Amino acid sequence: MFNNKKVVVVLPAYNAAQTIEKTCNEIPMDIVDEVVLVDDASKDNTIDVAQRIGIRHIIRHEKNKGYGGNQKSCYDKARELGADIVIMLHPDYQYTPKLIVAMTSIIANDLYPVVLGSRILGKGALRGGMPYYKYVANRLLTLTQNILMNQKLSEYHTGYRAFSRDVLETIDYHANSDDFVFDNQMLAQICYAGYEIGEVTCPTKYFEEASSINFRRSSIYGLGVLNVSFGYFFQKLGIGNRRIYRRLK
């Protein structure tokens, strides 16, 4: 608990057997009440490792549902467990779990209902080994998104995010894609619903075992991001009626 709020960390996992234990060892269990791992039909022994290290809540997709589909299961389970604050952390050890305290504190003290761990604030991305082409693409996409969505975020593409329960109960994240563009659709929903987003500087690590997508998938993702951003822009102008912006309450 933190400020009498229940904190749940969710881990969307795919082939994370080599990194999940290192990730979980750094989760601050003095404030985290529950850890949920959703395994998206991994081809390695992610489930075995998760069970061995004592993760209580494990969900296995028998068929791969995609990155977005994985997160949908994560958030559904966190809400079922009564979470007041949900931290989404990739279990590939690319992002440090040590920021969970800071991100939780921001939400628990009613400063922001959403917090992103940003690799771009500061100089952590390139120093941590982010491929240069990904860094440039990140910056160009983020600039375009900020213009189209009238925001000032340092990046939209981090895999380290924290949400209040109210946010997850208001936006219709089940209407989003099951692929990687889910993350950007979710941020578009959050902005459209009028929630403010805070950011914290997050050091990052790129190494062989860390998850990544290839150039082709990155290109498809980039086009999807632009589609989301232009869709948001036109939705704000009153042109279009996209289902993802429907409020649930």
pLDDT in tens, 13-24: 999 999 999 999
Look at residue 103 and tell me if it is in a domain. Answer: yes
Residue 123 included in any domain: yes
Domain interval for residue 17? 7-245
The CA distance from 111 to 180, in Å, is 28
Q: What are 53-100's pLDDT values in tens digits?
A: 999 999 999 999 999 999 999 999 999 999 999 999 999 999 999 999
- Classify residue 47: in a domain, yes or no: yes
The pTM of the full predicted model, rounded to 2 decimals, is: 0.94
Residue 160 burial (10 A CB sphere; 0-12, 13-18, 19+): buried
Residue 129 lies in a domain: yes
Does residue 186 fall inside a structural domain?
yes
Question: Burial, 214: exposed, middle or buried (Cβ in 10 Å; 0-12, 13-18, 19+)?
Answer: exposed
Total domains, the chain? 1
Residues above pLDDT 70, as percent of the chain: 97
Whether 107 is covered by a domain: the verdict is yes
The reply to whether 152 falls in a domain is: yes
User: What is the CATH classification number for the domain harbouring 209?
Assistant: 3.90.550.10
Q: What are phi and psi of 3, to 5 degrees?
A: 55, 40
Measure CA of the first residue to CA of the last residue in the chain; give whole Å: 26
* Cα 129 from Cα 135, distance rounded (Å): 10
Do the domain assignments include residue 1?
no
Q: Residues 213, 221: contact at Cβ < 8 Å?
A: yes
Over residues 107-134, the mean pLDDT reads 88
